Structure 1
Amino acid sequence: MSNRVFYYDALRAISIIGIVFCHVGIFFLSQGVNNPYFPVTAFFDCFREFSIPIFVMLSGALLINRRESLTKFFKKRLSRLLIPFFFWVLIYIAYSVVFIDHGFNLKNAVDIFFGTSGTLGVLFWFIWMIVICYLGIFAINKIIEYGSKNWQNFDKKFILALIILSVIYIALSEFGLFDPYSSKPLYFISFMTYIVIGYFIANNDYLGDKLSSKVVVVLALIVSIALYSYYVFGFVVPQSLLNNHFAYKSYFNLLILVLSVSVFVFFKYLSKTKYLEAIEQNNLGSALTLISKYSYGIYLCHYVVIFSLKRNFTRFFLDMNFIISIPFMVICSLVISLVILWALDKIPVLNKFSGIN
């Protein structure tokens, strides 16, 4: 019997879809902010603003407060993370050699490996961030394990302290008093804020003690829609037009934090109603579970799929109305990625590289 939590699957699936929308959106953003379809492009591209935080929050929900040895923790986590990653790095390097650089370039290969901006492997920054966050999660778990032996309710008090520090950290970043982007290691470590917040939301039910699940769902939905609409049409679009380049906020921003939390809360409390249970039992639920299972593999392979579609069908997608072409390109990218990963998963040895969860 599966021990999967469906609302986690739903969040993970929506997050990876949001990331694909972002990377497809970047292609259309290259047409410039003065393009008449720019507001549509910005709407789709900005899905990343809550997708990346939710991905990270799910890691916290699943991994914090676990009792595992160093060997078990990292053997289990890093093998699943790095083995598919190394495979896809080689694919990206080979693709770059054949179709972009038309020859091997050592610097470009290294840049792809480390997820350097401006290369085909730009998305691989996320892998290194997760590796660093795993170190942070393990340290938090060991502190909780030690503290719980000596003090009552230490885990709850410690996590609450980390939550307060995380919100303060994000506030300091928003008001320019601290810069998480001053170095890559600091930027990666900064995502620990979302790790602890994800654990806290998933494992506490303060709202449920005071309000019915339906009320929380409605409130969370209203907040999510209002904040996202304001962010896209009240900040991104006008600021981009004003400055003549795409403008967006950092992940370490109170608006992005509240938006990400409200989306997470929406799905958590929707799972306590009959509506999400009904979705889980139908075709939509099966699709979300499938996408969730392959979400890591989709993350690793989708960018080269998008690049291939762009390289071969640029005019086809750009000549369409962007309201249609962006979702259509996302669907194509997801379907092709899933087919590739499904095929890998059926082949001995190569199934290690599918990234199935």
Structure 2
Amino acid sequence: MANKRIEYIDTLKFIAILAVIVAHALSLIGSAEVLHFKLGKIDQLCRFAVPLFLMISGALFLNKEIILKDYLKKRVIRVIYPLIFFTVLIYIGKITNNVLYYYWYSWMFIGVLLAVPIINKFIQHSNKKEIEYYLIIFIILSIFNQVCNIFNIKYALDITFFYTPVSYLILGYYLFNKKINISANKLIILSVLLYIITSVIKMKTGNYNYSHEFHTYLDLSLLQIIQVTSVFIFFKTIYDNKTGILYKLMEVNAVKKFNLSVSRASYGMYLVQHPLIFGIIPPLIKPLKFTGTQSCIFYIISVITVFIISWLVVLLLSKIPYINKFSGYY
């Protein structure tokens, strides 16, 4: 029997892939300005996307009975097949010279998935306090590393055990199961405020905390942890309480079906939007000269177009026998 879908998880996947496309599409307009505002700063509003995907994986994969052979076949291999398929297409199309790094998130995610059976044992044999112990150290080390980066302080402390992409998995699992004793309205308002505050600070400072030691662009800063946590809690609270205009909109049958389809297609969409944004579209618009306002309009159109095309391509591939396992539609 198929696993029951969790509605707010599907919505989070929808939001995450949309955020990826919104962030990547900024590369099409460079440093264009509208009313003295650099559009490139919008990137900071969307940096929660990859951490959110990792947190979703933690919510879905941890504290489960894992049979290693079945897990590798059902979880890991189905991520590798689409990656190889699109990597070959990228190589043939000569869109990038560095095909092994082009899909950095996928390669990182494969490493995370390989660690899940081990991390799962920790979760299964840990109580709430022990999981909180791990997360507290993760947060402390995030602050420590950020301060050292700001003041250019070199240190020899090995923090990689707690300071990895896997930490987002554990955070996602924790929040997925956490009951917060605050009224729904207050929790929604708090999560919105935290998202706005952290996003504004990130837009003002541009202080990334990319984990180059892991050869990824994953942000492990405290600001990023708070931002992605606020997004997760916002949608979890809305769906748990089944109230509000947004929830009613998401429950409209057509919207619900579209949301589910995009959620299932999200991994494939991640793979498809790369060649569109970084390979196919740039040569077409290079001769064009946009004003700031025109850049803004073009940017919005690009996001919508890439989102719809990516979704349709994955959906189409998922309908073709033998090819469907390469589509990234789950």
Pairwise same-fold verdict (TM > 0.5): yes
Write the mapping of 1:1-357 to structure 2, written as runs, cut at 5 A: 3-29=4-30, 31=31, 35=33, 39-96=37-94, 108=97, 111-112=98-99, 114-115=100-101, 121=102, 124-145=103-124, 147=125, 154-176=126-148, 190-205=164-179, 207=180, 209=181, 211-232=182-203, 234-236=204-206, 248-250=208-210, 251-271=219-239, 272-275=241-244, 276-282=246-252, 283-306=254-277, 307-315=279-287, 318=290, 321-357=294-330
Q: Which moved more, 1:256-265 or 1:70-79?
A: 70-79
- Cα 1:348–1:318, aligned 2, differ >3 Å: closer, same or farther? farther
Structure 1: gaps (5+ residues): 102-107, 116-120, 148-153, 237-246
Distance (whole Å) between structure 2 residues aligned to residue 47 and residue 142 of structure 1: 35
Number of aligned residues: 309
Contact 2:25 2:299 in 1 (8 A): yes
> What is the alpha-carbon distance in structure 2 between the residues aligned to residue 38 and residue 131 of structure 1?
41
Query: Retained in 1: the 8 A contact 2:138–2:162?
Result: no
Over residues 112-132 of structure 1, what are the superposed CA-to-partner deviations in whole Å (9 max), with x where a residue is unaligned? 0x21xxxxx2xx111121122
User: Is the Cα–Cα contact under 8 Å of residues 187 and 234 in structure 2 kept in the other structure?
Assistant: yes
How far does residue 86 in structure 1 lie from its aligned partner after superposition? 0.7
Q: 1:314 to 1:289 in 2, by over 3 A?
A: farther
With the length of structure 2 as denominator, give the TM-score of the two structures.
0.85
For the 8 Å contact 1:132–1:189, the answer to whether it is kept is no
Whichever residue aligns with residue 262 of structure 1, its letter is: S
Give the match's secondary structure for 1:252.
Answer: coil
In structure 2, the CA distance between the partners of 1:188 and 1:170, relative to structure 1 (3 Å rule), is: closer
TM-score, scaled relative to structure 1: 0.79
CA RMSD after TM alignment: 2.7
Tell me how far 1:188 sits from its aligned partner.
Answer: 12
Q: Deviations over 1:137-196 (max 9, x none)?
A: 211212344x3xxxxxx33233222212221221222122799xx9xxx69971112111
Residue 49 of structure 1 aligns to a residue whose secondary structure is coil
Task: State the 1:267 CA deviation.
Answer: 0.8
**Distance 1:13-1:40 versus aligned 2 partners, 3 A rule:** farther
- In the alignment, is the contact (CA less than 8 A) between 2:268 and 2:328 conserved in 1? yes
Aligned in 2, Cα 1:294/1:188: closer, same or farther, shift over 3 Å?
A: farther
Deviation at 1:2, TM superposition (A): 7.0
Post-superposition offset of 1:313: 2.9
Cα distance in 2 for partners of 1:41, 1:284 equals 29
Looking at structure 1, the residues matched to 128 and 194 of structure 2 have their Cα atoms a distance apart, in angstroms, of 27
In the alignment, residue 173 of structure 1 is paired with which amino acid?
Answer: N
**SS across alignment from 1:57:** helix
Give yes or no for contact 2:16–2:53 (8 Å, CA) kept in 1. yes
1:347–1:293: structure 2 CA closer, same or farther, 3 Å change rule? Answer: same
1:50-108 C-alpha deviation (Å, 9 max, x unpaired):
11111111111111111112212222111110011110011110111xxx58xxxxxx3
Q: Which has the higher helix share?
A: 1
Write the distance in 1 (CA, Å) between the matches of 2:46 and 2:314.
23
Rounded Cα–Cα distance in structure 2 between residues aligned with 1:222 and 1:61: 24
Distance 2:166 2:310 in 1: 29
